[in-house]
Structure 1
Amino acid sequence: MAEVMVVRRKYHWPEIQLNVWLIVMLVSASTVLGIFANFINVQQQLGLGVPWYMPYWVVSGALAIAFLILILWLVAQRKLLPGIVILGSFILFVLWLTGLIKSSIVLWGPQGSVNDNCMRYVQDSPSRGQSINTLAWLEQNSICQSWKAAFSFELIGTVFLLWMMIMAWNVHRDDY
């Protein structure tokens, strides 16, 4: 008869770092998902085509939220493995970095960028008073601020995904 020995290894995750990471990633993913879903709605309302990166960010944000829910479920079951976290974080990191690069090109690109248009048509010509022009200016300003917020949260999310890969590797090596 052969004897089989099963060894279960326990991983010790730094609770505060894991919780901060989960909260920041949940906020980042939710914000990016919401902003780009709104952008898609605006594009459709204006009768314009929807660029590929808008649904890309909606899907990337939704995948990040699904990954975070999986992590929370695994934490609740006390079965969070570093390998799962490293793999999922790496996949999301590649997706978010790709989207971040595209967003930065659209936001600060060479000609006709969102930032150039915002500076030219919104920041340089504010409107005041009770008129339809003021209402249109407020909406344009809101869209410009949403672009900057989306880029900021994309950058934060990308950095935090890299941080999570490093943290999961350290947990795997028992450095915590």
Structure 2
Amino acid sequence: MIGRLLRLQLDAEVRVSHEVLTAVQEAPLDWRPHPASFRLGRLAMHVATIPGWTAAVARTATYDMGAGGPGPDVPASAAAILEAHEAAIARAHQVLDVMDEDAWLAEWTLLRDGHVIETMPRAEAVSRYVVRHLVHHRGQLCVYLRECGIPLPPLYGDSADRRLLPPDLTS
């Protein structure tokens, strides 16, 4: 049941994220709003790959943020972002569809350079560090796109650029 609920949450957000990542096809991937900010392409790749973290959280008891690399670089093309997104979703689905309840309730710990930041049930780690993290950075990406003059798709309702329509009226 827990895996099914997490999959419903994730699937709803990756559908919306796919629309935003599709809008990136028209964006300047090297653009950034400030020297300290990620470049648009790097942020888009981050959004694209976050769903794949589900597999890492499911297969390990800890994650050390200090041991990770610098993160994705600006991709060579916007098409690479969509490909990475599809691969990340597939990795997430592989775990969400098979893990049992006890595994979702097992403790998972976030570390920084070996020091405990927080311990929580694995299901909460997926909800927080995958689903909500995805939503947060997708919001950032929408601001980047708006600043570049790229029309935004409707997310949970209409955007300033497009109305949200039932699927049978969008084709």
TM-score normalized with structure 1 length? 0.30
Name which one, 1 or 2, has greater alpha-carbon Rg. Answer: 1
Q: Tell me which of the two structures has the higher relative contact order, counting C-alpha pairs closer than 8 angstroms and 6 or more residues apart.
A: 1
Length-normalised TM-score, structure 2: 0.31
Pick the structure with more helix per residue: 1
